[in-house]
Amino acid sequence: MPAAPESRTNLVRRARKIDRALAATYPDARCELDFDNPFELLVVTVLSAQTTDKRVNAVRPTLFAAYPDAKAMAAADRATLEGIVGPLGFFRAKTESLLKLSAALVERHGGDVPPRLEDLVALPGVGRKTANVVLGNAFGIPGITVDTHFGRLARRFAWTDETDPVKVEHAVGALFDKRDWTMLSHHLIWHGRRVCHSRNPACGACPVAQWCPAYGEGPTDPVAAAKLVKTEGRA
């Protein structure tokens, strides 16, 4: 006989237990991109597409020494900027994105980063994911960041079966207090980067295995699973 569907109350309880266990496992969970202000976070988040946080963190000092604010970046010499972001790949497209983004910040917001989702997503090259990263981490406004890890884990936890990131954001957001959204995002992303990989999740070394319906998708043997655990995020 198929198992009865989980009640809403049990789903909420189980979801919050998972988040608490992940919080205890990853007490240092945070945005893995370095930044000093909202402008820097917006720029490095845009730059982090298709590369690693570590690489972005490495170019950050040079980038913001040359262009400390939107006004300076909007006036950047294209070739110089391309040279700085070169190590990240796709340097022409990334340079174009930064020039357009900083010009829009200057034209529409006097060079400041607006602290509102609607304004952020209206900026060129800024999607909902980037906007929520900036709101949650630079402005302290709760936001859920649905990246590939977050979506995969939310589905493995059976918190939702949606695949559209906006639908995942709303479905998962309804299970938690709003004030927990930003840290919840970090917990899932950290767990996805370190343990619950897309292929071969380390189920036998997973601190939330007892609440996870997908337990067994990866090796359950503790020794085999321990070998799959990564100690760093996006190295």
- Whether 69 is a known active-site residue: answer no
**Is 203 an interacting residue with respect to ligand SF4 (CB under 6 A)?**
yes
**Is 189 an interacting residue with respect to ligand SF4 (CB under 6 A)?**
no
- Whether 147 is a known active-site residue: answer yes
- Restricting to residues 25-84, name those near ligand SF4 by CB under 6 A: none
Measured CA to CA, the distance from residue 186 to residue 63 in angstroms comes to: 25
Identify which of residues 73 and 212 has a Cβ nearer to ligand SF4 in the complex.
Answer: 212
**Is 206 an interacting residue with respect to ligand SF4 (CB under 6 A)?**
yes
Alpha helices by DSSP H, listed for the chain, are 8-25, 38-47, 53-66, 70-74, 78-85, 91-109, 117-121, 128-138, 148-156, 165-173, 181-194, 222-226
Measured CA to CA, the distance from residue 213 to residue 217 in angstroms comes to: 9
DSSP letters of 119-178? Answer: HHHTSTT--HHHHHHHHHHHS--------HHHHHHHHHTTS----SHHHHHHHHHTTS-G
Considering only 33-41, 113-121, 139-147, 206-214, which stretch makes contact with ligand SF4 by CB under 6 A? 206-214
Tokens of 213: 């319906």
Radius of gyration of the chain (CA): 19
The residue annotated as part of the active site, out of 19, 53, 147, 180, is 147
What would the x/- binding string for ligand SF4 be over residues 122 to 161, using CB under 6 A? ----------------------------------x-----
Judged by CB under 6 A, the residue of 217, 224, 233, 234 near ligand SF4 is: 217
The CA angle 33-44-114, to the nearest 5 degrees, is 110
Shortest separation between residue 12's beta carbon and ligand SF4, angstroms: 18
Measured CA to CA, the distance from residue 154 to residue 172 in angstroms comes to: 7
Identify which of residues 29 and 56 has a Cβ nearer to ligand SF4 in the complex.
Answer: 29
**Is 195 an interacting residue with respect to ligand SF4 (CB under 6 A)?**
yes
Tokens of 135: 């709101």
Identify which of residues 124 and 207 has a Cβ nearer to ligand SF4 in the complex.
Answer: 207
Considering only 2-10, 45-53, 141-149, 201-209, which stretch makes contact with ligand SF4 by CB under 6 A? 201-209
Shortest separation between residue 8's beta carbon and ligand SF4, angstroms: 21
Binding site for ligand SF4 (CB under 6 A): 156, 195-196, 201-203, 206, 208-209, 212, 214-215, 217-218
What residues are labeled active site?
A: 129, 147
